[in-house]
Amino acid sequence: MGQLNTPVTHLKLGTRRSLLAWAQSSWVARELERLHAARGLKVELVGIDTRGDKILDIPLSKVEGKEFFVAELDDALRSGRVDFSVHSLKDLSLERPAEFELVCMPRREDQRDVIVFSPKALERLGAGEPLTVGSSSPRRLENLPPFLSRALPTLNGRAPQVKFAEIRGNVNTRLGRLHEAPGAERYLDGVVLALAGLSRLWRDDKGRAELEKLFKGCRWMVMPLRQNPTAPGQGSLAVECRAPKNPHDAEVKELLLALHDEPTRLQVERERAVLAKWGGGCHQRFGASCVPVPELGELLYIRGRLPDGSFIDEAKGPERGAAPAGRAWNGSDWRGEGLEWIFEGKESSLVGKGCVFIAHARAVPPSWVPLLSGKRIWTSGAASWFKLAKMGLWVEGCAENLGFDNLVPMLQKPVLGLAPLSGWTALTHEAGLGGWEAVKAVATYRVSGEKREEAAAALRKAGSAYWGSASQFERYGAALAPEQLKAMKHACGPGKTAAALRAKGLEPQVFLSSEDWKKWTAN
């Protein structure tokens, strides 16, 4: 890059004026100053009002045109009023003016949607009142209703009812509506927001002070990406500057590159390729989320309604070779047909005062439901979430069948206000107590009624096996001769099962679920 005789030490950053936009742009400014402290770089924020900030009474999906939050920032960059601008990447269209360059994507925040519920929401559910949730996103309105109908708790024998209301405005304005009086025109039982935005606000002193007031008494739900993938690029920031035509702009670009995160760019490119294929923008009714998983590589979830009216629901994992020939043994077909409770009644004191991770819905003895109703509960996957909701329990989120360890970064997000891991209790089955070093594990049940001899006989005739759990592998792996066990092709889900097989010197193929494995072996 060409250098000026006098290095650039002062930059002007164009940003929207909203609390969130200001917080995330302030973070970019401080990071750039930190990275270039040796040259004494200072970054000044320049607030700019955009069309999207002014149109608050109409959902953007019903407004003609595009670049609602971008055009005025572009004008400022084009005219030289600012040196660069910061956008939420999902606000940018796929076709950008050639005079600008998207030079930098900082490391992405978690892209999930969350719903923050009013302090009165649970009481209203118990009374059989329908909950009104605020969102104007066609994508969210497509995917959220069927999920919430099963994810919200069933109370007093009443199935949850949810309706949606169109809502615009800044984050603090939306959250403020949760604290209106029920029945008031502006009252909402819940608002759908991006977790990334809330996390960035929480990092900002002014933003955190505002959120602490607005979160008071509220309940959370973090939407799983499999059922609710987000807008392509959600959680990512886009830093744009002028395409260099002079030494000054070339040096600005070089300074900004220090913030770039290449894995983020690659993930966002996969998501935006879906958008390019089917179109959308503010009108899209489908989500696309790319998620890196240590044991699986990158997963791409796509779900929603396409422009031609068809529905898509895909989870794309890594490319795999041909499935092994011969018989395949599916451990999911040989799970226990019953269970036996280990702890009841007074033993419920084993659950501490912190948060609870429920490894399977079966791990909740019926007598423990009243005890758990006051806890902050997370679980293993959507299937257990729905079963726990049927019991009347409020579940905040799940590990999406990727294992507890994969969930830990989420549980440690300060904005969620959850207990440290030392304050968590995991409820599991008797044979699943191993591998819970970070949290206290309690076995509440043991599996009974398994057709063990029949299962073992079927396994001896198989050339490949999918293991449903580490304890299942310990039971049935012993039925095989060591040489057969080594020769067999093994598969399992991510997490503790994969770790247990590797500890035995095996190299399992990891799948998102037994259903994905079955599809693979059927081809």
Report d(CA 64, CA 58) in Å as an integer: 11
Query: Torsions phi, psi of 87, nearest 5?
Result: -125, 155
Does residue 281 register a pLDDT over 80? no
| Predicted TM-score (pTM) of this structure | 0.91
Nearest CA-CA partner of 97 in 296, 241, 218, 238 = 241
- Are 86 and 73 spatial neighbours (Cβ–Cβ below 8 Å)? no
Task: Find out if CATH 3.40.50.300 is the number for domain 338-448.
Answer: no
Q: What is the pLDDT of residue 284?
A: 87
Does residue 339 register a pLDDT over 80? no
In this structure, of 84-88, 395-399, 452-456, the range with the lowest mean pLDDT score is: 452-456
Those residues with Cβ within 8 angstroms of residue 404's Cβ, 6 or more apart along the chain or in another chain: 357, 359, 380, 426, 436, 439, 495, 496
In this structure, of 196-205, 349-358, 489-498, the range with the lowest mean pLDDT score is: 349-358
CA 446 to chain CA centroid, Å, is 31
Per-residue buried b or exposed e for 148-171, using 16+ beta carbons within 10 Å of the residue's own CB: bebbbbebeeeebebebbebbbbb
Query: Torsions phi, psi of 286, nearest 5?
Result: -135, 155
Q: What is the pLDDT of residue 229?
A: 97
Neighbours of 337 (CB within 10 A): 10
Q: What is the pLDDT of residue 513?
A: 87
Q: What is the pLDDT of residue 52?
A: 60
pLDDT tier at 344, thresholds 50, 70, 90: low
Report d(CA 312, CA 291) in Å as an integer: 18
Q: What is the pLDDT of residue 53?
A: 58
What is the chain's mean pLDDT, rounded?
91
CATH 3.40.50.10090 residue spans of the chain: 338-448
CATH 3.40.190.10 residue spans of the chain: 10-107+236-260
pLDDT tier at 48, thresholds 50, 70, 90: very high
Q: What is the mean pLDDT of residues 70-93?
A: 94
Say if strands 376-379 and 395-398 run parallel, antiparallel, or are unpaired.
Answer: parallel
Does residue 512 register a pLDDT over 70? yes
Q: Between residues 470 and 269, which one has the greater pLDDT?
A: 269
Q: What is the pLDDT of residue 22?
A: 95
Q: For 201-229, how does the pLDDT look when each residue is reduced to its tens digit (9 = 90+)? A: 999 999 999 999 999 999 999 999 999 99
- Are 224 and 398 spatial neighbours (Cβ–Cβ below 8 Å)? yes
Strands (E), 223-350: 237-242, 285-293, 297-305, 311-316, 328-330, 338-341
Report d(CA 319, CA 80) in Å as an integer: 47
Residues forming beta bridges with residue 153, ordered by sequence position: none
Q: What is the pLDDT of residue 452?
A: 76
The helix or strand, by DSSP H or E, that contains position 194, with its residue range, turns out to be strand 190-194
Does residue 44 register a pLDDT over 80? yes
CA 248 to chain CA centroid, Å, is 39
Those residues with Cβ within 8 angstroms of residue 477's Cβ, 6 or more apart along the chain or in another chain: 485, 504
How are the residues of the chain apportioned to helix, strand and coil, as percentages rounded to the nearest 5?
Answer: 40, 25, 40
Nearest CA-CA partner of 122 in 158, 173, 163 = 158
Those residues with Cβ within 8 angstroms of residue 144's Cβ, 6 or more apart along the chain or in another chain: 115, 133, 135, 164, 192, 223, 228
Q: Tell me the CATH architecture of domain 113-222.
A: 3-Layer(aba) Sandwich (3.40)
Does residue 393 register a pLDDT over 80? yes
Those residues with Cβ within 8 angstroms of residue 151's Cβ, 6 or more apart along the chain or in another chain: 221, 382, 385, 386, 389, 395
Does residue 282 register a pLDDT over 70? no
Instruction: Please compute, for residue 438, the number of CA atoms within 13 A of its CA located in the half-sphere on the CB side.
Output: 13
Token readout for 277 is 């294929």
Residues forming beta bridges with residue 378, ordered by sequence position: 357, 397
- Are 323 and 518 spatial neighbours (Cβ–Cβ below 8 Å)? no
Query: Tokens 């044991």 belong to which residue?
Result: 295
Q: What is the pLDDT of residue 346?
A: 65
Report percent pLDDT > 70 for the chain: 93
Report percent pLDDT > 90 for the chain: 71
pLDDT tier at 65, thresholds 50, 70, 90: very low
Just list the catalytic residues: 90-91, 139-140, 168, 174, 282
In this structure, of 8-17, 472-481, 509-518, the range with the lowest mean pLDDT score is: 472-481
Torsion, Cα of 211, 212, 214, 217 (10° steps): 140
Those residues with Cβ within 8 angstroms of residue 131's Cβ, 6 or more apart along the chain or in another chain: 117, 121, 124, 125, 152, 160, 161, 162, 163, 189, 190
- Terminal alpha carbon distance of the chain: 52
Domain 10-107+236-260 fold: D-Maltodextrin-Binding Protein; domain 2 (3.40.190)
Q: What is the mean pLDDT of residues 179-198?
A: 96
Q: What is the pLDDT of residue 318?
A: 84
Q: For 98-140, how does the pLDDT look when each residue is reduced to its tens digit (9 = 90+)? A: 999 999 999 999 999 999 999 999 999 999 999 999 998 999 9
Report d(CA 517, CA 84) in Å as an integer: 47
Does residue 425 register a pLDDT over 70? yes
Q: What is the pLDDT of residue 64?
A: 46
pLDDT tier at 1, thresholds 50, 70, 90: very low
- Are 27 and 204 spatial neighbours (Cβ–Cβ below 8 Å)? yes
